[in-house]
Amino acid sequence: MLENIRLSLKGIWTHKLRSALTMLGIIIGIASIIAIVSAISGTNRQIERNLIGSGSNNVRICLYQGDYPLDFAYDPVPAGIPEISADMFAEIENQAHAVHVSLYHSNTDYDGVYRLDTSLSGGCVYGIDENYFRTCNMVVKAGRGFSDADSKKGRKVCLLDENSAELLFPGENPLGKAVEIKQEPFIVIGIVGEREAFVPVIQSIDDYYTYYQDTSGSVYIPDRLWPVLYQYDEPKSVVLQAEDTSDMTRLGKSTAEILNASMATGDTNVKYKAQDLMEQAKEIQQLSHSTNMMLIWIAGISLLVGGIGVMNIMLVSVTERTAEIGLKKAVGARRSRILFQFLTEAVVLTSVGGIVGVIVGIVLAELIARINATPVAISVPASVLAVLFSMVIGIVFGILPSYKAANLDPIEALRHE
């Protein structure tokens, strides 16, 4: 076996140009498949990042009526919605792969937040607990966060995100100044933002509408102050941080099941649902699936061409070495040994082409990623499978020349000029 491989490599090196031209179809096919698969994986990863953001892996579970989330600024609070108890919270928190969990209120307020004559139109007001910023991977970037004293004394204090700070206080420092929320004065004590800033990659108008993120801004108040501004019995929503993006869908569904288990409302349309970003990402990825598969099949045609080239060159090799084959048979070489020798040469030839193709494919994938500004996602399984597939091509297209060599008549072979 090792001797056959050594002789095959020696033959490739002896006929370098011929071997390179023979392997060209294999190299192009493998490189194309690696580049396409890597580009698809990179694009899919970019879609997930565009939707999920900078690694926060957050899943929000909110109260829905049918297919739409309830907006308590306009919708009445349904009867029979239980308060999220300490036991329910503990059950949610103790789920496998749940890192952090937080409860919060939210209200999209179109005319409730003011600073002098400036309105935070379309901004969102959140009533949060002490775990919210940690769960959402956010930090206080200026000023301070909420303290125990703020909650105990019922201080009307708030935090702004960077968008709301810029909209309400353009060019000013908002710390220590007041904003009005539902005509109640709140003092700004801090500015918050994401721990790692992330901006979606927008390459088309479709991407803009898909990944557009609301820039109206958000205002955060302690959840104990929520009844001062809004309805006292508004149900809370849940946000949790998953250990990995692959855990988001499962955790969202299981958390919704925990919350819905204690529902006592007569309206079966009202239930908790997860805002499944991973499912949305998969739907977007599926749109290009058929096109991507077509590209892979087209790239596979060059592998077929490469395989035919290998068969052709191996038939030429058998013709060139007819006398050598006859001599081996004359001294007692079995048909199986000769067949295995030529089959090994075909497999080594295509395997070398496969390895070179993988290297070229990785380089192409890097270039495509740089041009399209998408993450590089080299698929190791695809690379290994590509090399194994090239070996299979060597076996399939090497069988006919090997069989022809093994079945040469030794007398006729020795007479060959």
Domain ranges for the chain? 2-49+287-415, 98-238
Specify the pLDDT at position 399. 75
Chain-centre distance of CA 221, in angstroms? 34
Q: Does pLDDT of 99 surpass 70?
A: yes
pLDDT at site 279:
60
Range from 160-169, 269-278, 291-300, 325-334 that averages highest in pLDDT: 160-169
Return the closest-CA partner of residue 168 out of 119, 103, 229, 135: 119
Distance between CA atoms of residues 315 and 13, nearest Å: 18
Long-range own/partner contacts, residues 72-78 (CB < 8 A, 24 or more apart): 72/107, 72/230, 72/231, 72/234, 73/107, 73/108, 73/109, 73/110, 77/231, 77/233, 77/234, 77/235, 78/265, 78/267, 78/270
Q: Are 143 and 214 in contact (CB under 8 A)?
A: no
Q: Does residue 332 or residue 174 have the better pLDDT?
A: 174
pTM over 0.75: no
Interval 182-215: pLDDT, tens: 888 999 999 998 876 655 555 555 554 444 555 5
